[in-house]
Amino acid sequence: MNNRRFLLYLILMCLSVPVFTSCSAEKKQAYFNAEILEIKDRYLLVEPAEGEEELKSSDRIEVPTDAVSKEGIPENLKAGDRIRIVYSGEIQEMYPAGLVTVYAIYMASEVE
C-alpha cells in the first residue's frame, strides 16, 4: 500500500511541475508613451512621456522598428508624434537606452 501511495505522489509531482513552470514562463509585456525625436533606418529615438517609469532609466531610448506585431509600425511617422510602445520590459542600460524586444508601436491617439 505504501508503494502505491509513493508512486501516486511521484506521478502527481511530475505532472504538477510543468504547470507551475509554464505559469512563470509567460511573456511579460510593458508599455509606455513617448514622443519621437528622430527617425533612423532601423530605430526611432524617443523621449518617454512625463511620469513614465522608463524615464527613470533614460531620457532617450532607441526603439527598434522591427516590431513583432503583424501590423508593423504606423506609417508616416514623424518627429514630434506621440506613440505607445509595447515591449518586453527589458531596457538595455546604455545611452541612449535601448529596448530589447518591441511587440508593437501605436499612435498614442489610437489607444488613449
CATH number of domain containing 64? 2.40.50.140
pLDDT along the chain (112 residues), means of 10: 65 58 57 96 95 95 86 88 95 94 91 68
Question: What confidence score (pLDDT) does residue 15 get?
Answer: 64
Burial 65-74 (b: 16+ CB within 10 A, else e): bebeeeeebe
In a domain, 14, yes or no: no
Question: Which range of residues forms the domain containing residue 83?
Answer: 30-111
Q: Exposed, middle or buried, 14 (CB in 10 Å: 0-12/13-18/19+)?
A: exposed
> How many whole angstroms separate alpha carbon 106 and alpha carbon 103?
10
In a domain, 18, yes or no: no
Domain tally for the chain?
A: 1
pTM tops 0.75: no
Grid coordinates given for 65: 522598428
Question: What confidence score (pLDDT) does residue 43 get?
Answer: 93
In a domain, 22, yes or no: no
Q: Which backbone phi and psi does 99 adopt, to 5 degrees?
A: -90, 140
> How many whole angstroms separate alpha carbon 63 and alpha carbon 20?
33
Question: What confidence score (pLDDT) does residue 71 get?
Answer: 76
